[in-house]
Structure 1
Amino acid sequence: MNIEHLLKVKAPIADVYRTLTTEKGLAAMWTRDLRVSEDVGGVSEFRFAPDDDKTDMRIDQLVPNQKVVWFCIDSHPEWIGTKISFDLTETAGVTTIILRHMEWRDVTDYYRLCNYHWAMFLLNLKQYCEKGIVST
């Protein structure tokens, strides 16, 4: 079972890709307490206050200006073993992002909450890429 979202961003694909693969970009859309690996096989670490929740993502695939894939190795138990992908395409200066959070075991309240939060994080990404607004 997957969570899936589609978002259109009025920004060049290179800007969106950079947002999804750098500390500066991910800090603008997700959390400021992070350490990001920019290499396939590396692990990016994300921390969320006030509960000091953490999420560690192994970088499984980076295709510049096309695709980013993470594999969750540590987080809330329902996230561990799931994959997150961002597929990117650009037409006439508008980048389309398809986010998939894959391999959920069940539809739970936590699944529903995460579905909502992914939508909000994508909105943050849109505001950052289009207007330079840092939302976290």
Structure 2
Amino acid sequence: MGFSIFHNLHIKVSQNEVFDAVSQPKHLDNWWTLKSSGIPELHAEYNLNFTDDYNWFGIVSKVKRNESFHLKMTDADKDWNPTTFGFDLETKSDSTLVKFCHVNWQNDNHHFKHSSFCWAMLLNGLKNYLEKGIIIPFEDRN
């Protein structure tokens, strides 16, 4: 068994716009990473660079255009290595329901709890990026 992080939020843009924002490096760099690379295809490798000390890699473990995007971490922090995180999307009247999960944490430790908080802040940044065009400078992101 493991521990899991779940966050749901509504973003008032199309599923296509949310999918691109969570899977395209040019968008990831505007709300999450410092610089990233990868293509949203099954088994493709993503490089998620935050600093020289946090230069992580994952592979696409699930992808369905405009509906879901999940990455299984392959080379990251020891707490993140066994984990997979992802986004499942549904249209709801005037918005997209984003169902975020980060699963298979081995320990309910400080890093797990801090990551849950950081994801909540980052997902709020994603919402503001998509709805209002706000890009928080990388050094000011949690």
Measured against the shorter chain, the TM-score band is over 0.9
Partner of 2:63: 62
Q: Is the 8 A contact 2:9 2:99 kept in 1?
A: yes
Residue pair 2:36, 2:47 contacting (<8 A) in 1 also = yes
Counterpart residue type for residue 9 of structure 1: I
Residue aligning to 1:121 = 122
Runs of 4 or more consecutive aligned structure 1 residues displaced over 4 Å after TM superposition: none
1:101 is aligned to 2:118 = no
For residue 7 of structure 2, what is the aligned residue in structure 1? 5
Unaligned runs of 5+ in 1: none
Q: Give CA deviations for 1:52-83 in whole Å, capped at 9, x if unaligned.
A: 31221101111111111110001110110211
The 5-angstrom pairing of residues 1-136 of structure 1 reads 1-49=3-51, 52-135=53-136, 136=138
Q: TM-score w.r.t. structure 2 length? A: 0.89
Structure 2 distance, partners of 1:38, 1:104, is 24
TM-score, structure 1 normalization: 0.93
Cα distance in 2 for partners of 1:22, 1:110 equals 26
Distance across 2 between alignment mates of 1:61 and 1:12 = 20
How far apart are the structure 2 equivalents of 1:109 and 1:32? 24
Amino acid of the structure 1 residue aligned with 2:38: V
What's the secondary structure of 2:105's corresponding residue?
coil
Q: Tell me the CA shift for residue 33 of structure 1.
A: 1.7
Q: What do you get for the CA RMSD once the two structures are aligned?
A: 1.2
| Alpha-carbon offset, residue 93 of structure 1 | 2.4
Same amino acid, percent of matched pairs? 24
